[in-house]
Each structure stands twice: as structure tokens, then as C-alpha cells.
Structure 1
Amino acid sequence: MKKLVSAMAIAALPLSACTTVGPDYRAPQAASLGVPDSYHSLAQPAPSPEQLATWWQRFGDPKLDRLVDQAITGNLDLAVATARLRQAREAVVQARAGRLPSVGASAGAGENFDSDGDSSTRLALGADAAWEVDLFGGIGRGIEAARADAESVGYDLAAVRVAIIGEVASNYIQARLAQAQLQTARDSLRIADENLDIAGWRVRAGLVSSLDSEQARAQRAQTAASIPNIESRFASAAYRLAVLTGEAPGALTDRLAAAKPVPTGPEAIAVGIPADTLRQRPDVRSAERSLAAQTARIGVAEAQLLPGLRLTGNIGTTALGLGSLFDLVTGGVFAGLSQSLFEGGRLRSQVRSQEAATEGALATYRKTVLTALEDVENALVALQAAKARQAEFAIALDAANNTAIMARSQYRAGLTDFQTLLEAERSLLSARDGIDSSRADQALAIVQLYGALGGGWDPLAPATGVSS
């Protein structure tokens, strides 16, 4: 059997891959994709790979760190993406098998009888092999396409990881914001209870009309009505975090019940230049690999237009007894050449179709690049806006707090009406909500920026583990 395969290999060696059809892929340069030299919103040094790979740790929140670690190991979307990567790797193995011969074996035994009652046993052994010679590189292009597909799926896995980490951080921030707003609402409810008592006392003393008491009662009810809505937002964020980490909704609610401040994140974030982002973003790299795969498939389609060479061989032996089974061994090798003469334009249409698919993949790649740059620009603007809002709300909170203290003191002393106190309390509540929301917005903008930069995975690590 080894002699048969060796003979076929020697025969095919001078014919294999005489030429390779189809275009050789070259990745588009950044300039041809319309990538600018710097970002419009902000220019900063490039971030280190370590900072981007574990960016959530810069928030300094151990609870967030644990949730991210749990999501990386338990998230089901990541499990699905990992399974798809394994499937893509096996497709590479299957494509490579096209370069190797296929070998089969057979064996048989029979008993012959005649009218005299004599009988004889006939034994047979055989093997056959077939080899498709890659005359014009169609099989090689198929391997190239399968390898690029596997790399694309590997980057898709990284993109899912980036998205999951960002979603975990965002929902954690939303949960902490809900806790901060809940504390503000409960503090406001306590003050509303005090105002209602003061207004009731002043009405009973005949110092004011019942209008003050009714206004105080309405204020108290409105404040109390906001609490269930905030509790619902906290529960939703906690439920989402549980699902993201691979657990049932509600599994993390008790662990998050202790109120913690909204994580603030780093003051400054290195962004680098757009070309850095394109290398870091896994979705961009996935789109580039998809373009490479589609380009290679043009060669696969073009190879179908050209002649095909197939080598086949067989070897076998038959005998009337086991002892003489290998006395006579026969075999042969055959080469067959095939060429499609007329198929109604189907094969040429397949080439044109694949060329169109490649043009679509290029457009998708360019769109992915521009969308990535847009994400970074939007995140930078959002971060700058959140910082500006937080600075103004800090001033507003200080002023509103002083106003509320004075209004409450003056109302107790009968120096102002309840409407003035009511407006002061509303302004204080709005300022406290504003400062909490702006802090959360800044943290969310940081999460958005790190996600836009492609943070959350190591771009230096192999995407697929598929060797060349």
C-alpha cells in the first residue's frame, strides 16, 4: 500500500500547483480606507496593551473585577463564540485534507460448490487510492480561505468578549447609580416627612392655611412614588449582571445589595491615533480577515474553469487459501484529466459572483473601520461632556444645599412661605440626582471609550491557534 501511495505522489509531484490562480491578497492600507492621522476630539499618547486588556481594573472596584472574571468564564454568548471557533478550526483541517490522497481497503471471502460436492474457499484483499492534483492552486486557495475564516471567527470571539465586559461594567455602574439615587430619594422622603410635620403644626397653630399642609402631603407622596421605580432599575441591572455571568436572574441581587459608590475610573485615558485603534479592535480585524477569505475564494472559483487531474490506483490479491494469499499481487495506477466544456456559463458566473462578494467584503471592512473611528470620537465627546456636567452640577449642588438649609430654617421661623421651601427642596433633589447621574455618565463614557478602543482582550495573542 505504501508503494501505491508513493508511486502516485511521485507522479503528481511535477504537476502539483503548476500555477496558482486568483488574486494574491494584500491588506488595504489605512490611507486607502480614509483613516485620519489623529482623532478630531482629542489627541493623547497611545495606551499600553496591558491597560487596554484589563481596563476595568483601573476603576479600583474589586466587586467589578470579580463580576468581569465571572462573566469571562461563565457567559453563554462567549461559550457559543468559542464553539464556533472550534468549528472553524475543524474546517481548516478539512480543507487541508484536500491535498492528501484518500485511501480505502476491502476484503472478501467466499465458498464455491460444484455438483460433485467439492468446495473451495476464495479469499481476496484489495486497496485503492485517489488523489486530486492541485494543478492550479484551487485547493490551496480553499485552505487559505478556510484559515482566514478561522482567524475571522477568532476575532469575533474577541469582539464578543469586549462587548460582554463592557456590558458588565455598564450594568454595574447602573446598579450603583440606582443605589445612589435610592439613597437620595430616601433622604428626600425623610425631609418631606419633616416638612409635612412642620406644615401640619403650623396649620394647627393657625399660622398658615391648610394649603401648606396639602402641598407638603403632595410633595411627600411624589417623593415616595419615585422609590419603587428606582428599586426596579436596580433590580433590572442586577438581573442582567447575573445573566451576563452565566447565572439565573436574582443570583447576584443579595451580593449587590450593600450600597457602594459609583466607580469613578481613571482621570486620563490614553487614546493614541486611529491606526492604533484599527489594530486593537477585534471587529475590524475580523472584517479584514473576512475580506481575505473572500479574495481567496476567487481563486477557488477560477480553478473550476481549468482542467482537473485525478490520480487513482489499486492493489489487490486473490487466492484459494490463506497460505497463498500473497503469492500474486496485482495493481495499477491511472491518471485522468477532466475539463468542463459547456455548463451554461455556471462556472464563470460563480467567478463573477465571488468577485462581487469580495467587493462587498471590502465595503463591509471600510464601513467597520469608519464605524470604529466614529465610536471613539463619540466616546471622547461623551466623556468631555460628562466631566463638564459634573463640574457644573457640583456648583449647583452646593448652592442648592445652602438654599434648602436657609429655606427650611426660614419656614420654621415663619419668614417665608411653603412654596419657597418646596422649590428649594426640589432644586436640591434635582442637583443631587444630577451630580449622581453625571458621575455615572462619566464612568459610562469611560466604559464606552475603552470599548470603542477595543479594550478587553490581548491583540498579541493568537486569534485561532491555526498554524500555517
Structure 2
Amino acid sequence: MRSPYQAVLLPLSALFLLVGCASVGPDYSAPALSSSQFPASFGEPSATLSSGAVEVQWWRAFDEPALTTLIQRALAANHDIGIAAVRLDEAKAVLRESRQGFLPRGGPALGYEHARRSEVETPSGQSRHAESYRGALDASWEIDLFGRVRRSVEAATAQAGSREALLRGVQAGVAAEVAATWFEMRGLEAELAVVADISQSQRESLNMVTRMVGADSATEFDRLRAEALLRGVEATAPELERRRAAATNALAILLGETPQTFRLPAAKPEDERLAVRALAVGDPAGLLLRRSDIAAAERALAAATARIGVETAGLYPEIQVQGSIGFVAGSLDALGEAGTQSSFIGPAIRWNLLDFGRVRARIAVSESRTQEALIVYDQTVLRALQETDNAFRSNSAAGSTLQLRLLESAANREASRLARLQFAEGEGVYLDVLEAERSDFASRRALTVARTHQRLAVVSIYKALGGGWEICEQAGQDCSGAKGVASLDRGKQITHRP
């Protein structure tokens, strides 16, 4: 004759063989993208572009040590990176919790009970008062026969992968934002230098015209026009200073510092030469491996697909094994004595047949969210291709514009020199000098803007390619963001717990 334990354990053994063999809901497979969706190469064929592997620390291509320093500081202290890192920690904690579903639940249980029975309930000769003490180890375990736990772990794993990809995207975005803000600030400094240079030249012209008015070689009208041009040039400086201060403050925030205490690192002098080095941009197919937003959208799709299985498992019975082993005695001193041992084990089957309507509604919700995630993934890929194509076209246009601005500026500078020389020698009219100097000022400012736009175009290329986060995988590189840095006084700090 079989014992009660055998009567329970033998059927359960058959169930154990089925565990892991079936998981309800669809099995996920990554979306396949045809080669026709990707161009053969990026942008127009150009000597400035190569198909070599994208440089991890692409900002070093600008040969500006100050920029490298700023990006390293931003990766270590930026608040957006810190937020993304904490969200990744949250997703990993959810994953750890989901994996606990494979393990039994329960633990030690201590109990005391005191009862007072009525006279009718009390057998003759026994006390109406009864008490019992219980010390046991209670446990329950869900047999994941239909894969609810496995699908939950699958969804949590994919969600953690999505958060990790989003963190990489924030890291790459911060690096690109620091570089773009740095070059905007440097461009404004170059414009201020042009304003200072032109202002000095205009003062010299005004002094020359003033002397010529005294010698009856020029008119008061000429002097007033010269003074008006000088004041017009000087009036551009305050707005440029404001924009430069705003760019500096933006850098401070990117580095997790207050604008009032932030100090810029020393920068090398601005290079006036047109230096365009070849850019290693890889191939379009590799975009899927580098773009963090595409990876995040793909993992979000995987998580949504797994949640269909989680909800589908609600249509099937939930099987648990419950058990307890311990002691029950009438007094605390008797616990552990012979005859006080108590134990039980048995399966429990719950099947919420009356909830099928609710379960099917939740399944429909999960299926709709999966369809939405698939559309978001396709849209993310299309936008990535759009962003990269726009970036390469902008780079080509910025390079051509810069070359033309160089020629324009050189011509206007020479025309301005000749106009001043001719007027000083008594030839020509001062109106020609004014027009030449006005054109010289405008073209020199346009040249500095074109040089800034060219650098920003290069930054936009690497931002579109999704590179830069790989540096964070190198040993010794701090990319923790503000998560690991104490910055502002937050009052009572949240302590880290293992």
C-alpha cells in the first residue's frame, strides 16, 4: 500500500517532466529587415567619407583636448545618464524578482492559539480552555506548467535589455550634445573676435575720416556714416555675449554643475584653416547594431510579445504544491517531543473559469500593445534612416558652403583694403569704403558661422550613426552619470541597499 506522500509525489513527478516543455503564447523572433530597406552606402560618394569602422571616441577627430575632457566629465556626472542608469537598475531588480517565481515561497512559521470552548463542546472531564503552540516550516511552489513564470522572466529580461539600450542612447546623445554645444560656443567666440577686429578697423577709419574733415578732404556726412557703421558693428557684441553665456550654461548643466561655479577648460586657439579629414562611417546595415533606439525598440517588442504569454496563462489552471513540516504541542515546553511532529504536502489546483472574459480582454490588450510595439520598431528604423540621410546631406552642404564662404571672405577683405587705400589717396568716394567694409564684416561673420555649421554637421553624422556609447564598455571609463556623483544638496539622501 502506498503512503500518502507517494500518492501525491508520483503524479507530481509526471507534471515535473512537463515543466519547461510548453509555454503558452507566441514565441518571439526578431523582425527581419530586407536588404532593400537599406541603401548601399551613406550619402553621396565623397573623398571625405570612408566605410571603415566607426570610431568609438569620434570626438577625438576634432583634435580638441578640451572637448575630450568635457565629454568625459559629462559621461561621469550628467543627470540624464544618471536617471537612465537608475531606471536600468530598476529593470534589473524587476528581473530578479521575476526569477524568484521559479523558487518555493514561504519560511518559518510560529503560532500560538488559545481557545475557550462552550460546555456543550467540552467532553466530560476535560478543561474548557485549550491552547496549542506551533513551530513549522511552511512552503508553497507554483509548478510553471504553462509557462506563466517563464514568460514573465522573458518579458522582464527584454525590458531590462530595452532599458540598457536606452542608457546607451542617452550616453551617446550626451556626448553629441556636449560636442555640439562646445562648437556653438566656440563659434560665438570666433564671431566676437571678428566683431572686435572689425570694430578696431572701424575706429581707425573713423579717426582717419575725422582728420580728413578737419583738412576739408571729407565731409561731416562721411564722418557720421563712419560712426554709424562703427556703432552698428559694436551693437552686435552684446547679443553674441548673451548667446555665448547661454551656451556655457548649457554645458554646465550637461556636466551636472551649476552655471555659477562652472569653469571652462583651456582651449587651443581657433584654427582658421579648412581642414576636413575623412570620416569613418561604416555601412548602413551596421546602423542596426549601433543605434540604441533601434535596439531599445526591438527589446520593447520582445517584452510585449512575452506579456501575451503571461496573460494567456490565465486561461489554464494554476498548480501549486503546498507543504509544511514542524511541531504542534499543547505547551511550549512540549515542542519537539515525540508525538508532536506534524507535516503535510499536497497539490492545490486553482482554475478561474469565471474570469475567462477578463483574461481574454487582457490578452487582447497585450496583443494590441505588441502590434503597437512592432509599428514603433518599424518607425524607429525609418526615422534612423531619415536622420542619417539628413545628416550626410547637411555635411555635404556645410562643406560646400564653407569653401564658398572662404572665397567670399577673402574677396571682400581685399576689396575693403583697396577701398580704404584709394580713399586715403584721394580717389573714390567714402560710400565705396562703407559698402566694402560692411560687406567685409558680413562675410567674415558668415565664414565663422559656416565653419561652426561644418563642425556641427560632423557631430550630427556621428549622432545619427549612434556611436560613442561603446567607450562606456571600456575598463576605467566612468559613465555612471549623476547616479554616482553627489551634486546638489538633496536633503535626506536615499542610501544604497544591497
TM above 0.5, yes or no, is yes
Measured after TM superposition, the shift of residue 354 of structure 1 is 0.9
Measured after TM superposition, the shift of residue 260 of structure 1 is 4.1
- 1:371 aligned partner: 383
- 2:70 aligned partner: 67
- 1:35 aligned partner: 38
Measured after TM superposition, the shift of residue 188 of structure 1 is 0.7
Q: Is the 8 A contact 2:252 2:258 kept in 1?
A: yes
Change (3 A) 1:189 1:155: same
What is the aligned-residue identity percentage? Answer: 32
**2:322 pairs with 1:312:** yes
How far apart, in 1, do the equivalents of 2:232 and 2:289 lie?
51
Give the counterpart of 1:155 among 150, 156, 165.
165
Measured after TM superposition, the shift of residue 321 of structure 1 is 5.2
How far apart, in 2, do the equivalents of 1:82 and 1:42 lie?
39
Give the counterpart of 1:273 among 266, 280, 283.
283
**2:300 pairs with 1:290:** yes
RMSD: 3.0
- 2:244 aligned partner: 234
TM-score using structure 1 length: 0.90
Measured after TM superposition, the shift of residue 275 of structure 1 is 1.2
How far apart, in 1, do the equivalents of 2:296 and 2:272 lie?
34
Q: How many residues align?
A: 456
* Structure 2: runs of 5 or more not aligned: 117-124, 475-498
Measured after TM superposition, the shift of residue 151 of structure 1 is 0.5
Change (3 A) 1:39 1:294: same
Give the counterpart of 2:401 among 367, 383, 389.
389
Change (3 A) 1:214 1:257: farther
Q: One-letter code of the match for 2:438?
A: R
Q: One-letter code of the match for 1:16?
A: V
Measured after TM superposition, the shift of residue 322 of structure 1 is 3.4
Give the counterpart of 1:400 among 392, 412, 422.
412
Measured after TM superposition, the shift of residue 341 of structure 1 is 2.0
**2:455 pairs with 1:450:** no
Change (3 A) 1:138 1:456: same
- 1:465 aligned partner: none
**2:109 pairs with 1:106:** yes
Measured after TM superposition, the shift of residue 206 of structure 1 is 2.0
SS in 1 for 2:17: coil
Deviates more, 1:255-264 or 1:64-73: 255-264
TM-score using structure 2 length: 0.84
- 2:481 aligned partner: none
Measured after TM superposition, the shift of residue 40 of structure 1 is 4.8
Measured after TM superposition, the shift of residue 103 of structure 1 is 1.3
How far apart, in 1, do the equivalents of 2:171 and 2:36 lie?
26
- 1:92 aligned partner: 95
Give the counterpart of 1:80 among 80, 83, 88.
83
Deviates more, 1:453-462 or 1:443-452: 453-462
How far apart, in 1, do the equivalents of 2:221 and 2:188 lie?
33
How far apart, in 1, do the equivalents of 2:94 and 2:273 lie?
44
**2:252 pairs with 1:247:** no
Deviates more, 1:437-446 or 1:267-276: 267-276
Q: Is the 8 A contact 1:389 1:438 kept in 2?
A: yes
Q: Is the 8 A contact 2:43 2:392 kept in 1?
A: no
- 1:333 aligned partner: 345
SS in 2 for 1:169: helix
Q: Is the 8 A contact 2:64 2:268 kept in 1?
A: no
Measured after TM superposition, the shift of residue 94 of structure 1 is 0.7
SS in 2 for 1:458: helix
How far apart, in 2, do the equivalents of 1:192 and 1:326 lie?
108
- 1:322 aligned partner: 333
SS in 2 for 1:416: coil
- 1:466 aligned partner: none
What per-residue deviation string (whole Å, max 9, x for no partner) do you get for residues 73-112 of structure 1? 0111111111111110001001111111101322245799
